[in-house]
């Protein structure tokens, strides 16, 4: 697989595979945790197929997803980039608590714990998972800068941050990557964020590039989710919204078939064609889906095809909010 560079750090460029692998669903968020041996095999299969960029967070589990990656990837000889995140409050028993914590002392503690779980000497990319309104972003950037100077962290990232926050953080410690939701059914970043990132030389890592699975065309109003699946709380995944939003997946399916692709491959290829510094991180727990997603990296879309896809998609309104009210409160605005 070809590679892309996140950020504009000439002294230590962060070079990653054009597609990364979002690992959250292996341990958290989309039903019960998957069997560890199967996920270790999947992670190593991803490496064998050219994936070098893996995304996790301490809150996934909590802690168990980082531990899984540490077990699966610690002995891999190929150079890998593992991104993890800080910012949520977790008690000593590993239970997520209400609220956020990006105080410098908490950031340092999370970095040390993540290094142990991941079995690494340095965190390649350390994101603030959600912006903490109680801690100035300048203090957060300064704390990560200290970790970079100490050799504990290579690169600083933000997640679901606003344009203003990105600019303030970048003025203290250069931000290598912003991670936020972006796909054919959530194109808000195109308005202000993408131009800002381009002007500052910051890479973009879209999470949920397949709309939490909906853009694959495999989900409809009859799909039943496990009781622990986070999509049960998302308005965009109500049965009524799924029924209405099938118009978008049907469009994707028709356009993908013309190029001999699956809807997922077309959705990912569209993202890859938008900017050379965009690196989507689709998640999966199945080898056949991993291979399907990887196939998108070899797809080329020209300007005419991009325009056709976008104009067709714009004519279809998307129904339902992308977050529950509780999660929406954590998005920086």
- Active site (catalytic) residues: 60
Cβ-in-10-Å burial (0-12, 13-18, 19+) of 179 comes to buried
Residue 169 in tokens: 């953080």
Q: Spell 214-237 as b/e; 16+ CB within 10 A means b.
A: bbbbebeeeeeeeeebbbeebebb
Distance CA 7, CA 10 (A): 9
């Amino acid at each position: 697989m070809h590679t892309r560079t996140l950020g504009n750090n000439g002294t230590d460029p962060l070079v990653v595979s054009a597609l990364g692998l979002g690992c959250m669903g292996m341990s958290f968020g989309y039903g019960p945790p998957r069997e560890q041996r199967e996920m270790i095999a999947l992670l190593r299969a991803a490496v064998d197929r050219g994936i070098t960029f893996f995304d996790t967070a301490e809150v996934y589990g909590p802690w168990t997803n980082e531990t899984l990656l540490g077990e699966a990837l610690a002995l891999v000889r190929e150079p890998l980039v593992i991104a993890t995140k800080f910012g949520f409050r977790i008690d000593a028993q590993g239970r997520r608590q209400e609220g956020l914590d990006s105080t410098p002392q908490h950031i340092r503690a999370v970095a040390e714990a993540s290094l142990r779980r991941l079995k690494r000497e340095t965190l390649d990319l350390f994101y603030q998972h959600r912006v903490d309104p109680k801690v100035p972003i300048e203090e957060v950037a300064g704390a990560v800068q200290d970790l970079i100077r100490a050799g504990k962290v290579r690169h600083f990232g933000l997640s679901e941050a606003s344009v203003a926050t990105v600019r303030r953080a970048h003025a203290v410690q250069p931000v290598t990557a912003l991670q936020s939701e972006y796909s054919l059914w959530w194109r808000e970043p195109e308005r202000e964020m993408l131009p800002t990132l381009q002007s500052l030389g910051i890479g973009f890592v879209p999470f949920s590039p397949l709309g939490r699975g909906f853009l694959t065309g495999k989900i409809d109003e009859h799909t039943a989710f496990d009781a622990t699946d986070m999509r049960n709380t998302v308005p965009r995944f109500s049965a009524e919204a799924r029924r209405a939003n099938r118009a978008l997946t049907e469009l994707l399916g028709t356009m993908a078939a013309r190029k001999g692709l699956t809807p997922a491959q077309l959705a990912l290829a569209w993202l890859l064609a938008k900017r050379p510094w965009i690196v989507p991180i689709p998640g999966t727990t199945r080898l056949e889906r991993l291979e399907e997603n990887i196939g998108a990296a070899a797809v080329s879309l020209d300007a005419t095809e991009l325009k056709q896809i976008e104009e067709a998609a714009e004519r279809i309104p998307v129904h339902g909010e992308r977050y529950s009210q509780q999660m929406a409160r954590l998005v920086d605005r």
